[in-house]
Amino acid sequence: MKISVITVCYNAADTIEDTIRSVRDQTYKDVEHVIVDGASTDGTLQAITRFRDCLAQAISEPDRGIYDAMNKGILLATGDVVGTLNADDIYADETVLEQVAAIFSDPAVDACYADLVYVSADDTTRVRRYWRSCSYREGLFERGWMPAHPTFFVRRRVYEEHGLFDTQFKLQSDFELTMRFINVRRIKTVYMPRIWVRMRMGGASNRSIRNVMRGNIEAYKACRKHGIKVSPLFFLTKIASRIPQFFARPPAGSGAA
């Protein structure tokens, strides 16, 4: 079973090498790493070139945003299973893709996901926030829940059958896509209660209060687009659901060490 990992980047010279090494050092070796660069102007392309032997494909060209770039990567992917790892992110340990492959050995499984920790931009061992997920149950998306997208792996045929990222959503297309797959199309998912990804703080959707609000509005519109009834308090519920992440700490054996 081949696993495709898609990394999109733009001016990520300070972090892209960590991401590439993180994929390269996985114990599971039937992996293709595809990088989609948005025509970076810093040292990103030079870094990618230094690791070219580790990559299946690497393209660099202007795009229409992060989700347009992700769609390009998915269309380039040839693996049976596809995941995304952003240029600020690294896998929590070298066995993550081994765990993913074990889950997908069950042909009934369409997708899987796990937990994630936000870490300091300059120290990926320092946990700042713990995104603990859960198995899906009815009503979660209506309260603003979603799986941590960098931990979300899905069979490529699911994209072929149910579509790619909807680029009209600039900040919450991952919310719309996971909701469409899990809630609307009813794909079969498995939750693994382990930490799979370390994400550096400062992503686009949570970079400012303005972006947080814009993202919540997009998530609300995504629900309405699919006929999912949401409360007028959806915005408050979605924000409130994130607050415990700042106080929770990963338990021993979760993969955070």
CB of 95 closer than 8 Å to CB of 257: no
Instruction: Measure the CA angle with vertex 207, ends 68 and 11; round to 5°.
Output: 55
Cα within 13 Å of Cα(37), Cβ side = 20
Dihedral of the CA atoms 159, 58, 198, 97 (nearest 10)?
Answer: 60
* Closest C-alpha among 206, 198, 162 to residue 85: 198
Domains in the chain: ranges and CATH? 3-246 (3.90.550.10)
Find the DSSP H helices in 155-199. 156-162, 173-179
CB of 119 closer than 8 Å to CB of 127: yes
Q: How many CB atoms lie within 10 A of CB 142?
A: 17
Question: Which pLDDT tens digit goes with each residue over 109-134?
Answer: 999 999 999 999 999 999 999 999 99
CB of 3 closer than 8 Å to CB of 83: yes
Question: Which pLDDT tens digit goes with each residue over 132-168?
Answer: 999 999 999 998 899 999 999 999 999 999 999 999 9
Q: Which of 42-56, 144-158, 229-243 has the lowest mean pLDDT?
A: 229-243
Residue 192: per-residue pLDDT: 98
